[in-house]
A and B are shown apart, each in its own frame.
Chain A
Amino acid sequence: QVHLVQSGSEVKKPGASVKVSCRASGYTFSTYDIHWVRQAAGQGLEWMGWLNPNSANTGYARNFRGRVTLTRNSSISTAYMELSSLRSGDTAVYYCAVADFVNWGQGTQVTVSS
């Protein structure tokens, strides 16, 4: 079955960058677009962008354009989300999701603090 495993928690200083990984198993990696969603504590879900693992085409939400980069390494079935110029408002749990959002990773806590 589809399984997504994300990298562990991160603590970063304002202005730094963070790169979160999402390792997929249980299906052919090229089959599904990979989406990234974040959720600040006590807040709702915010869609960040998507990556087509075949073509590496991407699309980003307006709020993140210019700060987020989605990439993949198909040889190890892993997708990456890099967010730059971090600020306190980026403190959140970051999720990857595939198969039209049926399957989700466990989430990665990113904390931005000086």
Chain B
Amino acid sequence: DIQMTQSPSSLSASVGDRVTITCRASQTISRYLNWYQQKPGKAPKVLISAASNLQSGVPSRFSGSGSGTDFTLTISSLQPEDVATFYCQQTYSTPYSFGQGTKLEIK
């Protein structure tokens, strides 16, 4: 099974900051990587698919990069509404494992 490791597990940043979350796969997954944002009491919402494809309706301040084993989610200018927990997930092979999550707060 492929293990997904996210870092950091929590993050506090100021409005306007550039924020980076990383995700590492235990083996190569090509670009089969999704990023999700989850707010309390809600289902996860996919932000990025295939490592770097921004989903329709997602603000352009979100971007994704990487391939193989190392991936990055970047928020170019943090907004108050971005407070959430973020997850990566590999869809290269089953079981489609998730990272453990990164909780993002505003400083």
Contacts and interface: CB of A to CB of B under 8 A. Distances in A.
Interface residues of B, number: 21
Given A45-B87, A100-B49, A59 B94 contact: yes
Contacts of A37: 44
Contact of B98 (A47, A100, A107): A47
Give the size range of A's interface with the partner: 10 to 19
Q: Interface centre among B34, B44, B96, by most A CB within 10 Å?
A: B96
Contacts of A102: 46, 49, 55
Contacts of B87: 44-45
A68 B75 CA distance: 38
Contact of A62 (B45, B49, B95): B95
B3 interface: no
Given A35-B96, A45-B89, A104 B44 contact: yes
B46 A101 contact: yes
Contacts of B38: 45
A2 interface: no
B97 interface: yes
B81 interface: no
Nearest to B34: A101
A45 B42 CA distance: 12
Most buried by B among A35, A101, A105: A101
B95 A105 contact: no
Given A44-B100, A101-B89, A102-B55, A107 B43 contact: yes
B101 interface: yes
Nearest to B85: A44
B94 A45 contact: no
B91 interface: yes
A65 B96 CA distance: 15
12 contacts: A44-B87, A44-B99, A45-B44, A45-B98, A47-B94, A47-B98, A50-B96, A59-B94, A102-B49, A104-B43, A104-B44, A106-B43
